[in-house]
Structure 1
Amino acid sequence: MKIAIGADHAGYVLKDVVVPFIESLGHEIVDVGCDCSQSVDYPDYALPVCDLVASGEADRGILICGTGIGMSIAANKVKGIRCALVHDLFSAKATREHNDTNVLAMGERIIGPGVAQEIIRIWLETPFSHGERHLGRLNKVAQIEQPVALKSE
């Protein structure tokens, strides 16, 4: 898979740790930055990752900031993105099986590198269950992204 990854100043250290791990699993990385501890704005890194995923240029995306909260909020504003903030192994698996998430958000200040790597491994390896109830729910979520038709007066 081609994985787009981005981080802000509070997540770039963890990003730099997980990139070689993801590559060791056989995946290609598109790293959109950042690579410094100077304060930057997380939407500036969430958007390029999500655009790559939404356009199909990347199969999945990973976003890292201090808590993962800001990145997940920004990511879920992009049409076609289903981003989950994950800090445990059970959620990593469930969010793929039940929600078919295409972007993963994590917080460097919340989890360590070992847990982050295991979350990523599980998230990348877990398939979507394709169950009828899950597909129905995802279709309802996709309808939320559609523009609301204005009532004619």
Structure 2
Amino acid sequence: MKIAIGCDHVGIILKPAITEHLAARGIKVIDKGAFDDTRTDYPIYAQAVAEAVVSGEVKLGILICGSGIGISIAANKVRGIRAVVCSEPYSAKLSRQHNNTNVLAFGSRVIGAELAKMIVDEWLAAEFEGERHQKRVELIATIEETQI
């Protein structure tokens, strides 16, 4: 599996731990930046990761900013992305099972490296349940398709 990862200057502190954790699990990580702590804008990296997911370059994406909120909002502007910001593992698991999320976001000012790894592990282990949830995911896609 290949996963794209991206962050802004605030998320840079947490990105190495997540990248190493994924690599230890045998997952190839495509780093879309940022690459240092120089002040930058999170939408740049949200778009890069989101586009890698929708193009099929990678299966999933992970984004990190200070809170996870802004970067997840930006990613969700890319058609086909269902990004979730999580601060604990249970919501990450349910987001995959019920919403088939394809991008996970969290904040480096909200959680630490060990909790982030637990969130990532639960998110990756969960599978979309389909059935009644499929209709809802399709309704989300319909909203995207009908926007100007």
TM interval, shorter chain, is: over 0.9
Aligned-partner Cα distance in 1 for 2:41–2:89: 28
Structure 1 runs, 4 residues or longer, greater than 6 Å off:
none
Give the alignment of 1:17-36 within 5 angstroms: 17-36=17-36
Structure 1 regions of 5+ residues with no counterpart? none
Q: Contact between 2:89 and 2:122, CA under 8 Å: does it hold in 1?
A: yes
In the alignment, what sits opposite 2:108? Answer: 108
In the alignment, what sits opposite 1:136? Answer: 135
Q: Secondary structure at the match of 2:145?
A: coil
Q: Contact between 2:90 and 2:122, CA under 8 Å: does it hold in 1?
A: no
CA deviation vs aligned residue, 1:111-152 (integer Å, no higher than 9, x gap): 00000001001111111111x210010010000011358xxx
In the alignment, what sits opposite 1:85? Answer: 85
Taking structure 2 as the reference length, the TM-score comes to 0.97
Aligned-partner Cα distance in 1 for 2:23–2:36: 21
Q: Which of these two proteins has the greater Rg computed from alpha carbons?
A: 1
Aligned-partner Cα distance in 2 for 1:34–1:70: 15
Taking structure 1 as the reference length, the TM-score comes to 0.94
| Alignment-mate amino acid for residue 147 of structure 1 | T
| Alignment-mate amino acid for residue 128 of structure 1 | F
CA deviation vs aligned residue, 1:40-86 (integer Å, no higher than 9, x gap): 00011111100000111100000000000110100000000000001
- Does 1:8 pair with 2:12? no
Q: Secondary structure at the match of 1:145?
A: helix
Aligned-partner Cα distance in 1 for 2:37–2:73: 22
Percent of paired sites with the same residue: 47
CA apart distance, 1:89: 1.1
Root mean square deviation, CA, Å: 1.1
| Alignment-mate amino acid for residue 109 of structure 2 | R
More helix by share: 2
Aligned-partner Cα distance in 2 for 1:128–1:53: 17
Aligned-partner Cα distance in 1 for 2:36–2:27: 24
Aligned-partner Cα distance in 1 for 2:147–2:88: 36
Give the alignment of 1:45-124 within 5 angstroms: 45-124=45-124
Aligned-partner Cα distance in 1 for 2:44–2:63: 11
Q: How many residues in Structure 1 have an aligned counterpart in Structure 2?
A: 148
In the alignment, what sits opposite 1:145? Answer: 144
Aligned-partner Cα distance in 2 for 1:128–1:147: 24
CA deviation vs aligned residue, 1:10-64 (integer Å, no higher than 9, x gap): 1011011110100111110000111222210001111110000011110000000
